[in-house]
Amino acid sequence: MITSKKRDNTSKKPKMGFLNKRFLFSLIILVLFFIGLNIYSGYSHKAYGAKEKNSQETQCEKCQTISKITPRTPIYFTLSDPTKNDKGRGGMHSHEGDYKNESYKAPSKKAWLVSGENNPVSGLDLKTFVFDTMQTQKDVKLDNKMGINTYSFEVPKNGYYNLFAKSEIIDNDTLFYRIAKLEYLNGKHGSKDIYNEEIKKEIKTDKIKIDLVRLKDDNENSFFYRISMGDALKFKATLDGKPLQNADLGIDLNSGWSKNIKTDANGTASFVMIRDYFPSWDKFDKRYKQEMLLTLTFSEDINGTIGDQEYKKVNYILTYPLSYYPNSSDYQSYSYGLLVGLFVFVLSGIVVYLYRRRRTKPFKEIKYEE
Amino acid sequence: MNTIHNIESPKEKQNRHKAMEAIKLLNTLREDFKAPISSMEYFYDLFERVHCKHESLHDDKTKIGTMCIQIPSEIIYALDGVPIRLCNGFYTDDEIGSDFMPQKACPLIKATVGHFASGNFTDKPDIVFSPTTCDQKTKAGTTIESFGYKFIDVDFPRTKESEASREYWRRSVKQFAVELSKFQGKKLTKNNLRDAIKKIGYAQLLYHKLSEFRKNEIVPILGMDVFLVTNAFFFDKIDNWIEATEKLISELEIRAKEKITVTGKASPRIIYTGSPPIFPNYKIPQIIEESDGIIVADETCSSNRMFNDMVAVDEWNIYDMMDSISDKYLKACTCPIFTKNEDRIRRVVQLAREYKADGVIYQAFAGCTVYEMEQRSVLEAMEKEGIPILYLESDYSPSQGGQLSTRVEAFIESLKTRRRNKK
Amino acid sequence: MKSRIKNFINNGDLRRVRFWIQLITFVLFVYGGYLAINFGSSFPIFTCPYNDKTAATCYVIALQHQLAMPTKVLFSAAFISILIGLVTFIAWFMILNKAWCGYMCPFGTLQDWITALRKKIGIRFSIYTQKQFDQLSKIKYLFLIIVLLFPLLIGAGVLSNNWSAAFCQMCPARVISPMFVGDFSQWSIDFSSKTNMILTALGISFAALFFIGAFVKKRFFCFFCPMSALHYIFADTSIIRFRKDGSKCTRCGDCYAVCDMQIKDIADDVISTNILRDDCILCLKCVAACPEDDALHFDILNIKAFSSTREGFEKRMNIGSYTKNYEANK
Amino acid sequence: MKYFVGIDIGSTAIKISIVDDNKNLIGSKISASGSMFYKYAQETLDALISELGLNNNDIVYIVATGYGRKLYKEADENISEITANAIGARAAASEFGEIKTIINIGGQDSKAISLDNEGNVVNFAMNDRCAAGTGKFLDVVALKLEMDVNMLGEYHFRSKGTPLSVSSTCAVFAESEIIGLLGNDHSIEDIVCGVHYSIAKRIVKLVKRVGIKEGIYFDGGPALNDGLVNAIENEIGQRIFVPKHPQITTSFGAAIMGVDSYNYENS
C-alpha cells in the first residue's frame, strides 16, 4: 500500500525475526533427530537383544567371607549392593531406577542383609515383611543372585516403607531375638503428593515384639526429607506395643563416632547428630551421604519355648540403619549472602543515583575508530 | 472648499483595508451558502470583532506569539500565557511585507512580516517563539527582530526518523520551556502542565467530534466553516472556543438528524491539502465550495494537523509529559519540511478513504518551495491510489479569481462525471 | 448488541482491569500451594518452585532438570517426557501468547507494583538510550543459551552436577519469590562448590540489582528474561496475534511513550502487520494509548478482542471527564 | 474688454468658461453633450455670453479641448485636454500651492497627470477603456441605490460599519454585486462607502503609475462628491485640493491658453 517505490521504508525487518525463524527450524530438526534415534535404538534393542554384561557369571568374591555369624552380631539392611564397592555415592535421587525397568510395573526397591563391615549375610532363616505407606503389610520378594539374598519390595507410592527381618535363634537357653529394620522414604524431588500427619503415624504391629520408631517432628514436611548433621533425632522403643524403659541404644556412625544412650521412662531416646564431615571448603560435597547404625539391645529374663527348645532369657537386638547428609548450614552462608546482596544493592543504588543526577550531559560525541 | 475631513493615518488605513478583506469573506460565509449554521455566528462575530473592530481579546494574560504550530501550546497554557499563532492571511499585510521580503517569497510569511512591520496588532505578542521549520519563516526571524520584537528561535530537526532528532527536539522543547518560564516568571509544575494537556486534549476531542459529522453522506457543515473554527483557535480564548465548539457540535447533531445539508445533490467530496488556508485567504476553498464542491477533510497545518494527534502520557510527572508532548509534535507531524514525508501521503490516502472523498485539491502558495516540491510525489501517489487530484498554485492577491475558478469548476465537473460513470 | 460489547471492552479502563488480573494471578500463583492447586511443571511464567507454596512450576527449572539427564538417557525413551513437557509448555503458552508476561507472571506483577510505588513517591523513571536498548536486548538470548546448553553439558558429563539448574541459581526470582511465603533462606550463598558459590552469589546480586533496577526502570527484569526469549520462539504458534494497521497509524509515538519496554517498532513500523517484538509483554498499554481507531488490535483467533479506539483513548486519558469538572467549575 | 473662451467638449458634458485678459474667470456653463454636441456647444456658448451680458465680438479667442475639440470648427485653436487640465489646475490652485499631480475623473475616463516644477506635463496615465473608477460608475451605483449622485458624499460619512468593498472592478458586474449586497439588507451607507474605496483604490493605482508628487489636484465631476475625495485622501494619505467648480478646470485652462496664444499672436 506504501506508494514510494524508490527505497524500502526506513524501519528495518524486526531485528529478532530472523533469529526466531531459524531457531524454531533448528529445534524441529533436533526433535526429529532425537525421535529417529530413539526409534532406531528401540529397533536395535529388539533385533539384537539387550547387550548382556560379559556372559559368564562372575563368582562374587565377597561371598566366601560369609562367616558363620554368631547370634549376637547384629545384622542390618542396606540399600546399596554390598558386592559393588562404590562407597555410598548414590545421588540425591538416582534416576536409573525410575527409567530402567522396561516392564513398567510399579517401581520396586532392593535391599541386602549385611552384618559387620558390610559383609553380606545369607543362610539365615528369616521372616521378612514390609509395611507400606498405609501401614498395611505387604510381602517381600526374596531372590538370590550369585548366592546373595536380595529382598525387594514394591514402592508404588511416595511415603515411608518399613522393612523388617526377624530371626530368632536359641543358643544355650537364651533366645536371640534379632530384628533388622529399615525405614525407606520413597519420594521424588518436587513431587506434589500430599504429605500429612497420616504418613507420620507410628507403626502398630504385633508381628514383632520389639520395635524402635523414629518420631517425626513437624519440620519434616516433604517426601524429600533427609536427616542431616546437627538434627535432633528422637526414637521410641516399644516392647509388645508398650514403651520400653532403659533399653540401651547404641549409635555407631561409619565415620567411627559411637555413643550409647538409655531410653527414658516412656521409652524415648533422643540425641543430636554430630558433624563429622570436614573437607577443605572447595572439596565440600553437599550430597555426601554417610551411613549410621542404631542398635537397640535389651534383655529380659523370660522363659518360654520355641518349638521344642527352652529359653530362660531373651536377648533382643534391633538394628536400624539410617543415612545422613551434611547440614545445609555447613555449606550455605546466610551472612555472606546478605552481605553480597546489601553491597550490590547499595552500590547499584549509588551508581543509578549519580547517573540520574548528572544527566544534564551536552551532546553525546560520536566516536571514530582511528 | 469642501469641509475638512481628517485623513486616516497609515495604521487606520491598514486596519480599514484588513477590515474590508475580512468583512468580505465573512459576508460570503454568512450569506452566500445554503443553510447557514446559527452557532457559527460566534465565530463570524469573533473574526469581525478582532479584524474589523480591532478589539483585543487578551489584555490580562501575556501573549506568546508563535510563528508555527510546532511550538507546544500545552507548555504556554501551563505557564499561564496565551499562544497567538502569527500566521497571517491578509493581502494588505502581504503588500506591506513584500517590501521586506524577496519578490518570490511565500505570501503567508510576507503577510506575517508585513504585520510585524506595521506593528499594528490587536493582541500584540510580548515575545515571539519561532521553530526552525520553514526556511523563509526562519530567515524572516531576523527581519522581525529588527522591528524591535523579542524573538527566540526554537531548534526543530528536519529528519523525523532518526533517534538523534528525537533527542534533539526533546532537549530543545525543554530549553523552550525554561526560557518561557523565565520570561513569564512562573514555574512549570506537574499540575498546570497536566491541566494544559487535558485542556488542549479536550479541544482536540471536540475537533474530532466535529469532523465525525463530515464523514457521513449528508455533510452538515462547510469546509470553510471548519477552517474558520480551527483558525479561531489561533488566537481566541480557549475556554470561549471550547464552549462555542460544543454548541456548534450539538447543533450539528440536530442538523445531522434532520438531514440538513450544505451541499448540492451530488457535490463531489474534496480533500483539501497543501499550504494552510489562513483567514481571510480562503480564496481557493471559497471557489471550491462555490462551484458545488464540498471540502470534507483537509490535511493542512492550520486545521487538521494542529488537532489530529493527541498527547498520551503514562506517568503524569513533568519529564514524561514533556517527552510525550515533544514526541507528539515531532513524530506525528506531516509537515513537508521533513526530509522524508511518506506520512503525509499515507495521511492523505487514509483521509480520502475514511471520508469517502472523490478527489484531492493540492494548493501551494507561490514561493512555498517545500509544498511545491512535494507536489510531484503526492500526485504520483494519488495516481497509484486512483484518486483524482488537482494541483493549484496561488497567492494572496485577490485579482486572479477568474482563472482559478474555471480550473476548479472543470475539476469538480470531472469528479461528478466520474461519480456518475462509476454508479 | 455485538458492537455494544465491543465498545464496552475497547473503551474500558485497561489500567484497572490489568491491576485486578495481576493481583488475582499473583495470589493464585504464589499462594496456590496452600490450596494444593497445581498447574503442573511446564508453566510459561516465573512461578518459582523454590517458593514451595507456588501453584505451578516455572518451565525453565523443569526444562533444566529434564535436559540435565545423561546424554544416553536423554537420547533414549526419556526424550519422550521432555517432549511432553515442551508440548505442555507450548499448550499453556498458546492460550495467552506473551500476555502471560504482561498479566500473569507474578514476578512481572511485582515489578509493576514497585513502579507504582515509585510513581506514588513521584520519582521519575529512567529510560535506556537506543544504543543501550539494542545491546541489552541481546542478554535474554544469552540467558536462554545458559538454560538450554548447560544442562546438556551436565548430561554429557562436561559440567559437574553443581551446574544443575544453573540459570535458576542465578535467577533473582529464586531469591525473591520465596520471600512471599516468609522463606528468606534463599538469601544465602552455597559454598559447597566454587560453581555454586559463584552462581548463588550471582543470584543474590541479581536480586539486589533487581530491586534497584525495578525501582527506576519499568519492567526492568523482563528485558533480560529468558522466558520471554523462549516465548518469542513459539510466538507464532499462539492463537493470540498482536497486529497493527499501518495505514491508520499517524506515527504520533503515543504508544512508544507509554511502552514499558520502550519498543520503538510499535510506533515507527508502519509496514508489518504482526507488531509483536521479542521484548513485548503484551500489556496492551499501547493499544489503550492509541488515539486512532483500530490502528492497534489484540486478536484472539483473528477476532479483534481489544482494539484502540479514539473514544477509549479520551476516556482513559480522562480528557472526556474534563467536561465533568468543566461543567462543575464553569 | 477682450474675453477669451475655453470650451471643453467632453463625452458627457460640455463645459465652457470665459476669462478676461488677465486670466481671471468671469463665468462658466455646463450642459449635457449628447450626440449633436457641436450644435449644443454653440448654443451653450451663446447662452453663457448672454448670461454674462457680453456680446459676441467681445470674444476675441476661442480654444477648444476635450474629445470633440477637432470637430468644433469655430475654435481658433484646440489643445489636448491634458495640457488644458494642467494649466487650469495650476491656475485654479495657485493660492493652494504648487500642483504637481492631477487626478481627473471624467464621465467615462480617469486620468492622472504628473507635472514638473514649472507645470509642464511630465507623465500621464489614462484609463479610458473601462468604466471602473469613472463618473459613469458612480452614476450606475447611484441609479441602483435609487438616490441622486451628489447624495453619495453625505451617505459616505454616515457609514458606521466596515465599508463593503465591491470586488469586481468592472462596473457591469459591480451592479449585480451591489444588488446582492442590498438583497442581504446591508446598510446603504456601508455599500456607498465600499464603492468609494474601490474607486479610490483604482485611482491610487492609476496615479502610482505616474508617481505621486506633492500638491495633488482633483477635478472632474466626481470631485464634487466629497465622500470620494475623502476616500482618495485616505488611500493616498495626503491632503487633496478640490476647486470649487471642479468640472470646468479644463475649459478654464483652455481659456487661459487662449489668452497666452492671443497675446503671442498680437505681440
pLDDT digits (tens, 9 = 90+) for C154-192: 888 888 888 888 999 999 999 999 999 888 888 988 888
Domain boundaries, chain C: 14-232, 239-316
Is the bond leading into C49 cis (omega within 30 degrees of zero)? no
pLDDT digits (tens, 9 = 90+) for B262-306: 888 889 999 999 999 998 899 999 999 988 899 999 999 999 999
The verdict on a CB contact (< 8 Å) between B27 and D186 is yes
Q: Please name the member of D161, D194, D237 whose beta carbon is closest to the beta carbon of B7.
A: D237
- B346 vs A contacts (CB less than 8 Å): 2
**DSSP assigned state of C283:** -
- Chain B: closest CA distance from residue D127 (Å): 18
- B50 vs D contacts (CB less than 8 Å): none
Chains that touch B (3 or more CB pairs under 8 A): A, C, D
What gap in Å lies between CA C197 and CA C70, rounded to an integer? 24
Q: Which pLDDT does position A301 carry in this prediction?
A: 82
What gap in Å lies between CA C249 and CA C227, rounded to an integer? 31
pLDDT digits (tens, 9 = 90+) for C201-218: 999 999 999 999 999 999
- D197 vs B contacts (CB less than 8 Å): 16, 20
Beta bridge partners, A294, equal A251, A320
- Chain C: closest CA distance from residue A11 (Å): 5
For every residue of B213-268, DSSP letters joined together read HTTSSS--S-HHHHHHHHHHTTTS-HHHHHHHHHHHHHHHHHHHHTT--SS-TTPP
The verdict on a CB contact (< 8 Å) between D186 and B1 is no
The verdict on a CB contact (< 8 Å) between B199 and C322 is yes
B110, pLDDT greater than 80: yes
- B22 vs D contacts (CB less than 8 Å): 162
Percent of chain A at pLDDT exceeding 90: 4
Q: Which pLDDT does position B228 carry in this prediction?
A: 94
Mutate to test the interface with A, among C154, C164, C192, C272 (most CBs of A within 10 A): C192
Which chain C residue has the Cα nearest residue A284?
Answer: C192
B345 close to A4: Cβ distance less than 8 angstroms? yes
Domain boundaries, chain A: 75-331
Alpha-helix runs per DSSP H in chain A: 17-48, 96-100, 197-200, 328-331, 334-357
* Average pLDDT of chain A to the nearest whole number: 74
Same domain, D29 and D72: yes
What gap in Å lies between CA C21 and CA C5, rounded to an integer? 20
pLDDT digits (tens, 9 = 90+) for A189-219: 666 666 777 777 777 777 778 888 888 877 7
D94 in the Ramachandran plot: left (φ > 0), alpha (ψ -120 to 50) or beta?
A: alpha
Q: Which pLDDT does position A90 carry in this prediction?
A: 36
C245 close to C294: Cβ distance less than 8 angstroms? yes
- Chain B: closest CA distance from residue A355 (Å): 16
Lowest mean pLDDT, pick from A113-127, A337-351, B150-164, B258-272: A113-127
- B342 vs A contacts (CB less than 8 Å): 2-4, 9
- Asked if the C-beta of B332 comes within 8 angstroms of chain C's C-beta atoms, the answer is yes
D212 close to D140: Cβ distance less than 8 angstroms? no
D156 exposure class (CB count in 10 Å sphere: 0-12, 13-18, 19+): buried
The verdict on a CB contact (< 8 Å) between B332 and C319 is no
What gap in Å lies between CA B49 and CA B134, rounded to an integer? 30
Place of cell 544504543: C131
- Chain B: closest CA distance from residue D247 (Å): 14
Q: Which pLDDT does position C131 carry in this prediction?
A: 86
- A1 vs B contacts (CB less than 8 Å): 349
Alpha carbon distances (Å) from D62 to B407, C125, D34, D120? 57, 101, 21, 22
Mutate to test the interface with D, among B1, B4, B5 (most CBs of D within 10 A): B5
What gap in Å lies between CA B350 and CA B82, rounded to an integer? 33
Q: Which pLDDT does position A55 carry in this prediction?
A: 36
Confidence class of residue A91 from pLDDT cuts 50, 70 and 90? very low
- Chain B: closest CA distance from residue C9 (Å): 19
Same domain, D229 and D145: yes
At residue A124, the 3 state secondary structure works out as coil
Q: Which pLDDT does position A45 carry in this prediction?
A: 57
Same domain, D60 and D187: no
Q: A128: closest CA among A180, A175, A65?
A: A180
Mutate to test the interface with A, among B165, B167, B170, B342 (most CBs of A within 10 A): B342
| Residues C238-256, mean pLDDT to the nearest whole number | 91
Percent of chain D at pLDDT exceeding 70: 99
pLDDT digits (tens, 9 = 90+) for B152-181: 999 999 998 888 899 899 999 999 999 999
pLDDT digits (tens, 9 = 90+) for B71-101: 999 999 999 999 999 998 999 999 899 889 8
What gap in Å lies between CA B356 and CA B218, rounded to an integer? 12
B152 close to B182: Cβ distance less than 8 angstroms? no
Amino acid at D85: N
B-C C-beta contacts closer than 8 Å: 94
Q: Which pLDDT does position C202 carry in this prediction?
A: 93
Residue C83's CB is within 10 A of a number of other CB atoms, namely 15
A abuts C (3+ Cβ pairs < 8 Å): yes
CA gyration radius, chain B: 21
C130, pLDDT greater than 90: no
Q: Which residue has the higher pLDDT, C47 or A331?
A: C47
- Chain B: closest CA distance from residue A356 (Å): 13
- D234 vs B contacts (CB less than 8 Å): 7-8, 12-13, 16
- Asked if the C-beta of B212 comes within 8 angstroms of chain C's C-beta atoms, the answer is no
Same domain, D185 and D266: no
- B7 vs D contacts (CB less than 8 Å): 230, 233-234, 237-239
Q: How far is CA B6 from the centre of its chain?
A: 38
- Chain B: closest CA distance from residue D229 (Å): 9
B335 close to B254: Cβ distance less than 8 angstroms? no
Domain around D124: 99-242
Residue C300's CB is within 10 A of a number of other CB atoms, namely 15
What gap in Å lies between CA A181 and CA A76, rounded to an integer? 7
Q: Please name the member of B20, B30, B401 whose beta carbon is closest to the beta carbon of D163.
A: B20
End-to-end CA distance of chain B: 71
What the block records as the C-alpha cell of A116 is 559387620
What gap in Å lies between CA B36 and CA B57, rounded to an integer? 26
Alpha carbon distances (Å) from A235 to A202, A209, A218, A239, A266? 11, 16, 15, 13, 11
Residues 6+ apart with CB under 8 A from D175: D140, D144
Q: Chain B: which residues have CB within 8 Å of chain D?
A: 1-3, 5, 7-8, 10, 12-13, 16, 19-24, 27, 30-31, 48, 52, 398, 401
Residue B55's CB is within 10 A of a number of other CB atoms, namely 13
- B161 vs C contacts (CB less than 8 Å): 268
A12, pLDDT greater than 70: no
Confidence class of residue C24 from pLDDT cuts 50, 70 and 90? very high
Same domain, D196 and D235: yes
- B384 vs A contacts (CB less than 8 Å): 3
Confidence class of residue C330 from pLDDT cuts 50, 70 and 90? very low
Place of cell 497509524: C249
- Asked if the C-beta of B311 comes within 8 angstroms of chain C's C-beta atoms, the answer is yes
Q: Which residue has the higher pLDDT, D181 or C114?
A: C114
- A3 vs B contacts (CB less than 8 Å): 342, 345, 349, 380-381, 384-385
Mutate to test the interface with D, among B18, B20, B21 (most CBs of D within 10 A): B20
- Asked if the C-beta of A306 comes within 8 angstroms of chain C's C-beta atoms, the answer is no
The verdict on a CB contact (< 8 Å) between B313 and C317 is yes
- ∠B156-B158-B164 over CA atoms, to 5°? 80
Q: Which residue has the higher pLDDT, B132 or A172?
A: B132
Q: Which pLDDT does position A53 carry in this prediction?
A: 38
- Chain B: closest CA distance from residue D89 (Å): 15
pTM for this structure?
Answer: 0.78
D214 close to D98: Cβ distance less than 8 angstroms? yes
- A93 vs C contacts (CB less than 8 Å): none
Q: Which pLDDT does position A190 carry in this prediction?
A: 60
C27 close to C73: Cβ distance less than 8 angstroms? no
Alpha-helix runs per DSSP H in chain C: 2-10, 14-31, 59-67, 71-74, 78-96, 99, 106-121, 130-136, 139-155, 166-170, 172-176, 194-216, 226-233, 254-258, 265-268, 285-288, 310-316, 322-328
